[in-house]
Structures are given as C-alpha cells and as structure tokens.
Amino acid sequence: MAVASTDTAIRSSNWSRMLIYLVLLLFALFYLLPFGIMLVNSLKPLEEITGGNMVALPRTWTIEPWLSAWSTAQIGVEPTGLRPYFINSIMMAVPAVLLSTIVGALNGYVLTKWQFRGSTIVFGLLLFSCFIPFQIVLIPMARILGLLQIAGTTPGLVLVHFVYGIGFTTLYFRNYYAAFPTELVRAAQIDGAGFFQIFRRILLPSSGPIIAVSFIWQFTNIWNDFLFGASFASGGSAPMTVALNNLVNSSTGVREYNVHFAGAIMAAGPTLLVYIVAGRYFVRGLMAGSVKG
C-alpha cells in the first residue's frame, strides 16, 4: 500500500507469524477451491469427469471444452457458443458503468461541496435505493421500458443498470469527496472556475481511487446480473450470464460439465481480470473514505 505507511507498530513473535501464514494460506486455499475445481474440470474430457474424482488433475489435458464453449456450444437453437453474448455484455456493461459512475460522481460532488437545504434527505433517498430487492421492480420496470420503446434492447438494459447503480456510486463518491478539502473548491471559486470546471479540473483528477472502486463495483454487478438481463433483453441482445445459464441449465440431455465450467470461467473472465488488475485500488479507494459509509 502506498497511501498509508504499513509500518505497523505491532511486533509479533516468529512462532505466531508462522501461525498467521498458515491461517492465511488455508483461507487462500478455501477461497481458491471452487475456482480450482472449475478450472481443473474444464480441462478434462467429459468421461474423466463422470467417472472420476473432481479434484484429480486431468489424465488427458484438453482445451476442447474451452473452444466448444466459446464458439460451438449450443445456446438456444444455434450452436454459436458464448462469443456473441460476450459482446452483448460489453455493449451493456460499459455504457452503464460509465454513466452511473459519472452521475454518481456528480451527485457526490453536489452532496458534499454544494450542500443545500434537504440535500441530506436526497442522499438518504438515493442510498436507500441500494437496498431494494430487484425482483419487485421487474413488472413495473417492464411497463416503463415498454412506454419508452426500449424494451428488449441494449439501451433499455443500460438504463436499468444505470438507475439501480446510482445509489451505490453516489454513496462511494459522496464519502470520498467528503474527505476532499473544501478549501480547494473555494480557491477554485475565487479563481473564477464554475460548477463544472471545478468538478472537471479540481475534483476529477484526484478521484482515481474512488473511480476504481465505483468502476469495479458497478462492472462486477452489471456483468454478473442475470435477472435484468434475462427479463429485459430479447434473444439476440442477451448478455453473457443469460447465455451461460442457457448453456448450464439446459433442461434435458447430456450435461457437458467440462464445457459448462469452461463457459463459466469465460463468463467470469472480465470481472476476474478487473479484480486482479484493479483490486489494489479497491482497498485504497475504500480506505480513502468509503469505509465511513
């Protein structure tokens, strides 16, 4: 961690350090296990899975399941693999993440640096929205998407994810900006910068860590969403998770577990990548204020 010194004042004996390492490694094993099972079995031929031990390494290594999941597995009536849906997910996730992050950042900026009478109530209202069970919004949301003529389209999905992402992004940015020195905003006001100029020139360049948090959070939530994707996307625009579900949960027939696992890892790929690449910003961003919320 570069932000705060990790020069912890706490000292501990060698013996207890051994114990600490042991516990940490055991937990690492626990966390890795399900993914490990998936990975190992995605590289086995199907006969080895049905006949063998789930944790055993493949006797014959094969990438056939991966190729199949990507481009030839049956999703619906056509053997397209997951490939086209991958693109759908990106088309959905990227604009929704960007929009909700931008709006969340502006909201956080207003709620901390331009407070007005009732602004805390507005914040409370936004925050509570994080906690509604999504199942209840399906029917009324469908009506509204229908009225807006974007039912079953990617923009419709973007709207849905955008709406239900605002609460969290606002929370993150508000807590981050609360710790941002108000004097900088005042200085910029005196320098003649307007509302948006202050935001763009002063706050935004310092918002790296919290943008990372917001991005990671939104991206994983949106990418992993199944309920909205299944309900509000029609056939061709279905996101990855819906396609994966169709692959994995098909009602009858032979279950190609190795292909399912390969597909599942693929579907998880982008979020995993985001966590691994940007994960350290996540802790840093949480540190920079969002823990307070």
Partner 1 sequence: MTMMKKLKMTAAVLALSTTSVVAQEVEVLHWWTSGGEAAALNVLRENLAEGGVGWTDMPVAGGGGSDAMTILRARVSAGDPPTAVQMLGFSIQDWAAEGSLANLNALAEEQNWDEVVPEALQRFSTYEGDWVAAPVNVHSVNWVWANTALMEELGLEQPESWEEFVAAMEAAQDAGYTALAHGGQAWQEATVFDSMVMGVGGPEFYQDSMIDLDPDALGSDMMVEAFERMDTLRGFVDDNFSGRDWNLASSMVINGESLFQIMGDWAKGEFVNAGLTAGDEFQCFRVPGTEGTVMFNSDQFAMFEVSDDSAQEAQLAMASAVMSPDFQVAFNMVKGSVPARTDIPSDDFDACGQLGMAQLAEASANGTLFGSMAHGHANNPSVQNAMYDVITAHFNGEFDAETAAEELVLAVELAQ
Partner 2 sequence: MAASSDTGVDFRTRLQNWLPKLVLSPSLAVMLIFVYGFIAFTIYISFTDSRMLPSYEWVGWQNYDRLFRIREWNIALNNLAIFSSLYIVISTIIGLMLAIFLDQKIRGEGVLRPIFLYPMALSFIVTGTAWKWFLDPAIGLENTMHLWGWTSFQFNWIKDRDMAIYTIVIAAVWQSSGFVMAMFLAGLRGIDNEILKAAQMDGASNFQLYRRIILPQLRPAFLSAFVILSHLAIKSYDLVIALTGGGPGNATALPATFMYSYTFTRNQMGIGASSAVIMLMTIAAIMVPYLYAELREKS
Partner 3 sequence: MGFLDIRNVTKSYGSVEVLHQVDIEVQEGEFLVLVGPSGCGKSTLLNMIAGLEGITGGEIAIRDKVVNGVHPSKRNIAMVFQSYALYPNMTVAQNITFGLEMHGIPKPDREKAMASVAGLLQIGDLLGRKPGQLSGGQRQRVAMGRALVRDPDVFLFDEPLSNLDAKLRVDMRTEIKKLHQKLGTTIVYVTHDQIEAMTLSTRIAVMYDGYVQQLGTPKDIYDSPANLFVATFMGSPAMNVLPSKLVERDGALHVLVSDSDGRELALRVENAPASYAAYKDREVLLGIRPEAITDPDGADRNARNVRPMTNTVGVTEPAGADTFVTMALSGKDCIARMRADAEVHPGQPFDFAVNMDKAVLFDPKTEDRIA
* Window of 7-15, 62-70, 73-81, 148-156 that interacts with partner 2 by CB under 8 A: 7-15
Among 5, 11, 251, 276, binds partner 1 (CB under 8 A): 251
Q: Assess contact for 170 and 126: CB atoms under 8 A.
A: yes
By CB under 8 A, residue 10 contacts partner 1? no
8 versus 135: smaller Cβ distance to partner 1: 135
Report if residue 124 touches partner 2, rule: CB under 8 A: yes
206 scored as a contact of partner 3 (CB under 8 A): yes
Among 234, 277, 291, 292, binds partner 1 (CB under 8 A): 234
What backbone torsions phi and psi does residue 204 show, to the nearest 5 degrees? -55, -45
Mask for 140-159, x = binds partner 2 (CB under 8 A): xx--x---------------
Give the nearer residue to partner 3 in terms of CB position, either 202 or 262: 202
Among residue numbers 88 through 107, which ones bind partner 1 (CB under 8 A)?
Answer: 95, 98-99, 102
Q: Does the protein bind partner 3 through residue 187 (CB under 8 A)?
A: yes
DSSP state string for the chain: --SS----S----HHHHHHHHHHHHHHHHHHHHHHHHHHHHHTS-HHHHHHS-TTSPPSS---HHHHIIIIIS-BTTB---SHHHHHHHHHHHHHHHHHHHHHHHHHHHHHHHS--TTHHHHHHHHHHGGGS-GGGGHHHHHHHHHHTT-TBSHHHHHHHHHHHHHHHHHHHHHHHHHTS-HHHHHHHHHTT--HHHIIIIIIGGG-HHHHHHHHHHHHHHHHH--HHHHHHB-GGG--HHHHHHHHHS-SSS---HHHHHHHHHHHHHHHHHHHHHHHHHHHHHHHTTGGG-
Q: Is 276 in the site for partner 2 (CB under 8 A)?
A: yes
Site for partner 2 in 234-253 (CB under 8 A): 241, 244-245, 248
Size of the site for partner 1 (CB under 8 A): 49
Q: Which of residues 102-121 bind partner 2 (CB under 8 A)?
A: 103, 106-107, 109-111, 113-117, 119-121
Chain residues in the site for partner 3 (CB under 8 A) = 181, 183-184, 186-193, 197, 201-202, 205-206
Chain residues in the site for partner 1 (CB under 8 A) = 50, 74-79, 95, 98-99, 102, 138-143, 145-147, 149-156, 158, 230-232, 234-238, 242, 245-255
